[in-house]
Structure 1
Amino acid sequence: MNIIYTVCNRTNLTHALALANSVAEHQPDHTFYLCWVDTYPIVGLPPHINVLSVTEANVPQWEFMKNQYIDFELLAACRPWFALTLVAKYSDCRQITFFAPTVILLKGFSEILNSSSTAFLTPNIVKPLAASAILDDKRILNIGMFHAGSWILNTNPTNVKVLQWWAERTVDRAKFDLCEGMNMDQLWLNYLPIWVPETSVVRHPGWHYGLHEVLNRKLTFENGKYFVDGAALISIDFAGLSYFDPIWSDYVALLSSNRVFKNFFAEYKNTLKKYGGLKHSDYRPGFGKTIHVKRFRLFRNNIAKTLKSLSVYIDQF
């Protein structure tokens, strides 16, 4: 068997359900798991969605983790632990795929796989970024060369050992703190091609389109289908657009760089409304520390940058 899983809490439950339905449509031979990092029980899900609660996962330092991490950091820190739990639970699992809740599939992804590789990573960029005042190459270096929103691993002993190595480091080194060399679970992916020589970097234009790709690749809509640089769109990630993401919400202005992407996101928001009945009335996740993200955070930051530039100019001249 093959498993696809995501990790979410009440903040992004509706997104995870949209992902699950896209998996059921386009990868029906895969078992889907919604890994739940929250306190209230979710019921009434369709049979193609399996639920695994964090209290059922084998996280040996769970009490420590839930008290030290902000809720969105905690979700990322739990990702490799859930993978280990699922691999242990199903001895016949041959491959495990992770998708962030904000991803949806538009077609099957068997074409991106090859028999000579046992790990498949999603690059943030495959060529130097086009010039932009919003996102540049240095920022990609800060957050890591690979996108944590999608990866695929065969469950051989070497890869399971790497998962264990990764999980042990997310216990206390998965904060969002770029100055201290941490970016939740993501920077650890930089090591994967070293530990696993049989790693492929997926370069298919239609794989995992999102804010990280919008400057370099063109999303189009033709005859009722989506294409990226002429190739059929396989998956798309709306990270940073509909709720706060510590990385990609800083670059939400890139959405306007592609009208088709912007329109697609509007349709996606309407899709999410179908699952609103399962949301909890209390917006605060049950595990992890909560923070209040100000609505006009980016506007305030831009004003601060402008004032700082003006202050420097005055000091110099």
Structure 2
Amino acid sequence: MKIAFTICSNNYLSQAKTLLDSMQLLASDYVFYIFLVDEYSSEIDYDFFKPANIVLAKDLPIDFNSLKEKYNIIELNTCIKASCFKYVFEHNSDAVHAHYFDPDIEIFNSLNYLDENFNEYDFLITPHISKILPWGSKEPNENLFLNHGLYNLGYIGLKGNSVKVNEMLNWWENRTLNYGFYRLERGLFVDQLWINYVPIYYPKETKILFHFGCNMGPWNLHERELNYVNNQYIVNEDYPLVFFHFSSYKYSNPNVISNNYRYDFKTNPELISIYNSYNEKIQKNKIEVLSKVSCAYFNNKPSINFLKRIVQYMEVALFKLKYYLNPM
């Protein structure tokens, strides 16, 4: 059995459905899970997301109540990733491997390339960038990844029935459930920054994927050129596009690839078609309705830790302000 899953709140279900649709088209032999960091909403017909298995995050064997008190919505959605891996492996003992994809990813090719790597490796990760990035006045610059992580956790693949994977998941889960904050000034960035250690802790078991068709996104456009050839997307003339990460894309502002980034459709016109197509798909999957459904955990009166969150936000804002006033 092969597993793939994503994590989101109700407001990101249209993106998750688009990911699911692409999986059904190109990787239908996978069992697909959506871990919902939210309560079921009367505004949503969850049959729309079949055949995905929807699991409520609060039903994971963790102290979810304390997590929703101390974390904001981004931290809460990311801190459970290791716990979700443990869940799918424990509930599917015959799972040979599992892939995590962010909900705003779309699959464009078979996942065979990813799967074949599990013949030799236990961990699959993708770097944000793999070629020198010229310094610019807008993001991204290389220091962005020193703060947020060398590897993009919009994707990670893990082998099933692996002692090393089990060990890593126990470590990673401990770190993210306890220290999964978005606090750059403390050297913390949710679940992602911790993964810098995986190739160090598990050098023989880790495969860093330098395939340019894997996890193409708005941070690595300086090294990847996309073209549509013979009914498929090709990167740098040689690499079939396996999956594209539409990170930070807003359907309501379709002419912007990502806010504050140096790349746009004028400098990268070859991206217009893939983004237009994605916009059509998420619109079809009810993004105008679903994106307006507030997360149940952040829609009520302030929790007892509300002031702590305010302090955290102020610290992060101050850290960013200091950087922008005095860059490098």
Shorter-chain TM band: 0.7 to 0.9
Q: Does 1:269 align with 2:279?
A: yes
Q: Which amino acid aligns with 1:199?
A: T
- Identical amino acids, percent of aligned pairs: 24
Match of 2:99 in 1: 97
Q: How does 1:1-317 map to 2 (within 5 A)?
A: 1-41=1-41, 43-59=46-62, 61-112=63-114, 113-114=116-117, 115-134=119-138, 135-155=140-160, 156-197=162-203, 198-230=205-237, 231-242=239-250, 251-256=260-265, 257-276=267-286, 279-280=289-290, 283-288=293-298
1:52 partner SS: strand
Tell me, in whole angstroms, the C-alpha distance in 1 between the residues paired with 2:136 and 2:287.
40
1:287 partner SS: helix
Q: Which amino acid aligns with 2:191?
A: D
Q: How far did residue 62 of structure 1 move?
A: 1.1
1:191 partner SS: helix
TM-score, L = length of structure 1: 0.85
After superposition, the C-alpha distances for 1:167-212 in whole angstroms (9 at most, x for unaligned) are: 1111131121111111111001111112323100001111111012
Q: How far did residue 110 of structure 1 move?
A: 1.5
Q: Which amino acid aligns with 1:43?
A: Y
User: Is the Cα–Cα contact under 8 Å of residues 159 and 196 in structure 1 kept in the other structure?
Assistant: no
User: Is the Cα–Cα contact under 8 Å of residues 66 and 289 in structure 1 kept in the other structure?
Assistant: no
User: Is the Cα–Cα contact under 8 Å of residues 11 and 291 in structure 2 kept in the other structure?
Assistant: no
* More displaced stretch, 143-152 vs 124-133: 124-133
1:172 partner SS: helix
2:14 partner SS: helix
After superposition, the C-alpha distances for 1:104-149 in whole angstroms (9 at most, x for unaligned) are: 1001122243221111101101121134322211112111110010
Number of aligned pairs? 293
User: Is the Cα–Cα contact under 8 Å of residues 34 and 54 in structure 2 kept in the other structure?
Assistant: yes
Q: How far did residue 283 of structure 1 move?
A: 3.1
Tell me, in whole angstroms, the C-alpha distance in 2 between the residues paired with 1:204 and 1:308.
37
Tell me, in whole angstroms, the C-alpha distance in 2 between the residues paired with 1:119 and 1:268.
29
* More displaced stretch, 45-54 vs 114-123: 45-54
Tell me, in whole angstroms, the C-alpha distance in 2 between the residues paired with 1:128 and 1:158.
32
For structure 2, the 5+ residue unaligned runs are 301-305, 307-320
Call closer, same or farther: CA 1:67–1:164 in 2, change over 3 Å. same
1:148 partner SS: coil
After superposition, the C-alpha distances for 1:30-67 in whole angstroms (9 at most, x for unaligned) are: 111011111125521354211111122112x2111101
Tell me, in whole angstroms, the C-alpha distance in 1 between the residues paired with 2:92 and 2:36.
18
Call closer, same or farther: CA 1:146–1:308 in 2, change over 3 Å. closer
Call closer, same or farther: CA 1:27–1:173 in 2, change over 3 Å. same
Call closer, same or farther: CA 1:308–1:79 in 2, change over 3 Å. closer
For structure 1, the 5+ residue unaligned runs are 292-303, 310-317
Query: Could you say what the CA RMSD is over the residues aligned between the two structures, in angstroms?
Result: 2.7
Tell me, in whole angstroms, the C-alpha distance in 2 between the residues paired with 1:172 and 1:118.
25
After superposition, the C-alpha distances for 1:264-292 in whole angstroms (9 at most, x for unaligned) are: 2122111111121894585321125899x
